[in-house]
Structure 1
Amino acid sequence: MDPRKARTIEALLRAGEELFRRRSAEEVTVEELAGRAGVAVGSVYNHFGSKAGLHAAVLERAIRLDRDYMDRAYRRAGSPIARIYAAAEEYLAFYLAHPDYFRMLAFPNAPGQYPAGRELTERLARAVREQNERLVRALREGIEAGELRPVDPEETATVLWSAWNGIISLGWRPDALHRDEAGLRRLLAAATEMVANGLLPRPD
């Protein structure tokens, strides 16, 4: 790809990353996107076809990056519990490296009424379900192996995922509840450990 074209595309993606995580695509204008990227308005249409196309590209990049991080967790050798701990670690790593993308996936804005927005919302929902199902599978494996007690794996996965989102969101709080990277790591480990200990088989 021509280097100048690549720079323009990257600048537009970064502008979309910043603007779309704060406001819905309906509220963001093409002029704002182009101005933030420092390019001509026509560049949005030339490279992405429309504002909706740029929005889709930003979301797809966020989904792909999130999947890359979580792949590392679920490909690790070891017990299901070890993979669950690894998933929490990689989820935090994704947030630390790409905070705006994390916000877009974990706390999406309302899609608005335009059809492409509704399609993107469903695409995001599918991506979340795919990641949640990987956590569900790890829990099921642990249950089947007798390493975990028989709980509802879907509900337990949702509890873990929701807890991780809530903890990581403390990283951008402006008040005394704010936590730095070290604090987030401690809280994630503590939350995962509390759930993991509750999943261990109970003595008769």
Structure 2
Amino acid sequence: MEDVDVRKRRTMDVLLRAAEEVFRDRSIEDVTVEEIAERAGVAVGSIYNHFGSKAGLRAAVVERALEVDRSFIDMAFTPDRTPVQQLYAVAEQYLQFYLQYPEYFRMLAFPAEPGQYTAGRELSERMAKQIDAQNDRMVVAIQAAIDAGVARPVDAKKVAVVLLATWNGIISLNWRPDQLRRNESELRDLLETAADVVANGLLRSPLAGG
């Protein structure tokens, strides 16, 4: 006879996978528990038994996505790397996160509207805060490079935001349906190019008067 905990975990996993698909680009109020249950092949009651509510299931999906994202980014910030090497490594790990978990990437990089309900807005705010906390790790690396004299004085927070926004835009080229679509190798090359432009600058020397 199958262990109760194993059955519970299996049901939770299929519900999370179904929820990941339906919540990928839709707000919580646009999705019904019946739709999720049908997609998962389980009874509607399972959602309430394991997650308490639709909002609880949505929160569990987001938390799982954030946890996976953190695990990839952790691999970039190793003590054997210099701050600059860490920034290049973050770009690679972020790409790997997308390639292995595209639904999670879309959920975090291009979140759906939170909807009108308090639970949706609170979850959206919590997700933004945790992503911002992840971004702060890049801020620390950039500031460390500045303090070491490797990088010129800049607003580290703004540069980190620029990097993340640039990476999101580049990676999103992978799902374009037209000639602008880029494959994995091309994405990696573009990410490295973006990092090089930020790290080394585009102009050979500053232009007087802008």
Which runs of no fewer than 5 residues in structure 2 stay unpaired?
none
Q: Aligned with 1:193: secondary structure?
A: helix
Structure 1 runs (4+) deviating above 6 angstroms are none
1:83 pairs with one of 71, 76, 86: 86
Counterpart amino acid of residue 145 in structure 1: A
Residue 80 of structure 1: CA displacement?
Answer: 1.0
User: Residues of 2 paired with 1:123 and 1:166: CA distance?
Assistant: 23
1:125 pairs with one of 110, 124, 128: 128
Q: Please state if 1:6 is matched with 2:9.
A: yes
Give the aligned partner of residue 186 of structure 1.
189
Residue 127 of structure 1: CA displacement?
Answer: 1.0
Give the aligned partner of residue 114 of structure 2.
111
Q: Please state if 1:92 is matched with 2:85.
A: no
Residue 198 of structure 1: CA displacement?
Answer: 2.1
Count of matched residue pairs: 201
Paired-residue identity, %: 60
User: Residues of 2 paired with 1:178 and 1:138: CA distance?
Assistant: 31
Counterpart amino acid of residue 33 in structure 1: I
Residue 194 of structure 1: CA displacement?
Answer: 1.1
Q: Please state if 1:32 is matched with 2:35.
A: yes
User: Residues of 2 paired with 1:158 and 1:46: CA distance?
Assistant: 40
User: Residues of 2 paired with 1:125 and 1:112: CA distance?
Assistant: 15
Counterpart amino acid of residue 116 in structure 1: A
CA RMSD of aligned residues (A): 1.5
Residue 76 of structure 1: CA displacement?
Answer: 4.6
Counterpart amino acid of residue 185 in structure 2: A
Residue 122 of structure 1: CA displacement?
Answer: 1.0
User: Residues of 2 paired with 1:76 and 1:11: CA distance?
Assistant: 37
Which runs of no fewer than 5 residues in structure 1 stay unpaired?
none
TM-score normalised by structure 1 residue count: 0.95
Give the aligned partner of residue 141 of structure 2.
138
TM-score normalised by structure 2 residue count: 0.92
Asked whether the 8 Å contact 1:76–1:83 carries over to 2, the reply is no
Q: For the structure 1 residues 18 and 187, does the alpha-carbon distance in structure 2 shift closer, same or farther, using more than 3 Å as the test?
A: same
When Rg is computed on C-alpha atoms for both structures, the one with the higher figure is 2
Give the aligned partner of residue 151 of structure 2.
148
Counterpart amino acid of residue 55 in structure 2: A
